[in-house]
Structure 1
Amino acid sequence: MPDFNLDDLKKTWQEQEVRPKYGNSDILEMLNHKSRNYVKYILWISVIEFLFFTGLSVFYIFKSEETNSFISAIEKLGVQKTPELQQEFSHLYNLLKAVSFLITGFFVVKFYQNYRRINLEANLKKFILQIIVFRRTVNHFILANILLLILFTGILTVFIFRTLSVQNITLGQPTLVGFLTGIGIATLGSVGLIWLYYRIVYGIIMKKLGRNLSQLKDIENSTDGE
């Protein structure tokens, strides 16, 4: 029976050439496909959001509940419900919705254009730049939604105070403070919910996309160093 030498076995094992399971080209191809898929997911999510809110708005237009709910809320401040007030608010509300749809639609188109520009056959540096541009567009989309909410809240607040002035209604200091505090809390809460929604829905995908981007940059650096 031959002698079993553990040291010789370890030496032989260490001297064996270890071939990498995947080369840089294989890893690059996988990362490219994954990144493009992540971009596609964000594109479809934004399309679903646009269609959902469009359908929801059409539904409320036929029921006219949004206008009635807002008028009922400001009636508690002493505002009188008149046909002129309803018509004026309806026009303002439809204008704000149109602006919101246009901006959301603009970003849906931008997402699609960015998706089409991402070329899997492009050189690594160009592909990385395409991914960075897409991530920047997503960040702008999230920021635009938050700014729209703040802007619309400000416009509606001005509309309320203008209505109070037209109807010669003066709010007492406790009522005024309570009203402004309520608007501030509601706005901050809404901004927080929007941020949380995008953090969860878009954040998960963007985190994976960012991880892919880091790996792509590492491959580029290792390639440049060779």
Structure 2
Amino acid sequence: MKELDLLKKDWNKKETKFPKLSYNDIYKLIHKKSSSIVKWIFIICIAELLFWTALNLVIPESYLDIYAKFHLKKFLLITQVLHYVILFVFIFLFYKNFKGICVNDTTNDLMKNIIKTRRTVNCYVYYNIILYAIISIVFNITMFSQPEILLEVMSPKDVDVDSNTFINVLLIVQIATFFIICGLLWLYYRIIYGILLKRLNKNYKELENLDF
């Protein structure tokens, strides 16, 4: 937005060698930038959906058989279906926000749509992290409550290991993995969507100050 700051300074100068920009000219510039940002949010959301769909298709069936032993396969299937439904809802909301910004013709409407987009993005980020946390907690509670099956599935073959030690080590690894993945998810969303929201917030502040 540095170019916008320069244009605003130029607009307020009494004497300048460049043509002065009107209120509408600067508004159109902010509008164009905001529309582009929301479009990228929409595109990234669709890209994430395609990525996870492709990943699910390449996971071997034998991997899912492990969850069947804990009677978690049905839970996993229901969770996936609900997840895709909610993802499509978010995609629709992002598309609606994009179309809403595209047809805005007043500053107040544009500011309202920027606020709406920020809320949608924040809900989307928290939803994904909370969903992972819930699924991980349910899976781990179910699996560690059945240590016999867990040992059968996870313990190395033809190796004599102490069952209690193995379960304790596995629990520590699962807890560490849980926090690492939550941290990586938060970092990813913080970087990708954080950058876009930061630019959108700057546009919002510019609109607030567009009263000169």
TM-score bracket, shorter-length normalisation: 0.7 to 0.9
Cross-structure match for 1:109: 92
Are positions 1:205 and 2:188 aligned together? no
Residue ranges of structure 1 left out of the alignment (5+ in a row): 1-15, 72-83
Asked if the contact 2:31/2:101 (under 8 Å) is kept, the reply is: no
Structure 1 residue 167: Cα displacement: 8.8
Match of residue 158 from structure 2:
none
How far does residue 175 in structure 1 lie from its aligned partner after superposition? 4.0
8 A contact 1:67–1:89 mirrored in 2: no
Structure 2 residue ranges without an equivalent (≥5): 1-12, 153-161
Q: What is aligned with 1:43?
A: 42
Alignment check: 8 A CA contact 2:111 2:207 kept: yes
In 2: Cα distance, 1:216 partner to 1:103 partner: 32
Contact 2:118 2:197 in 1 (8 A): yes
Partner of 1:144: 127
Q: Which residues of 2 match residues 61-76 of structure 1 at below 5 A?
A: 63-67=60-64, 70=66
Please list, as runs of the form range in 1=range in 2, the aligned pairs for 1:1-226 lying within 5 A after superposition.
17-19=14-16, 21-60=20-59, 63-67=60-64, 70=66, 85=69, 88-164=71-147, 172=164, 174-219=165-210, 222=211
CA displacement, residues 171-224 of structure 1 (integer Å, 9 cap, x when unaligned)? 62x4444333222211110011111111222222211111111101111xx26x
Distance 1:167 1:53 in 2: 27
Give the Cα separation in 2 of the matches to 1:164 and 1:44.
43
Q: Which moved more, 1:200-209 or 1:186-195?
A: 200-209
- Pairwise CA distance, 1:55: 2.2
Aligned-CA RMSD value:
2.8
Q: Which amino acid aligns with 1:106?
A: V
Once residues 44 and 50 of structure 2 are traced to their aligned partners in structure 1, the CA distance between those partners, rounded to angstroms, is: 10
Q: What is the one-letter code of the residue matched to 2:77?
A: N
The CA deviation at 1:35 is 0.1
SS in 2 for 1:130: helix
Checking the alignment, whether the CA contact within 8 Å between 1:114 and 1:130 is kept in structure 2 is yes
Tell me the TM-score normalized by structure 2.
0.77
Structure 1 position 89, deviation (Å): 3.4
Partner SS for 1:118 = helix
Cα displacement (A) at 1:27: 0.7
Give how far 1:111 is off. Answer: 0.9
* Residues matched between the structures, number: 189
**Percentage of matched positions with identical amino acids:** 25
Scaled by the length of structure 1, the TM-score of the pair is: 0.73
Cα distance between partner residues in 2 of 1:167 and 1:113: 46
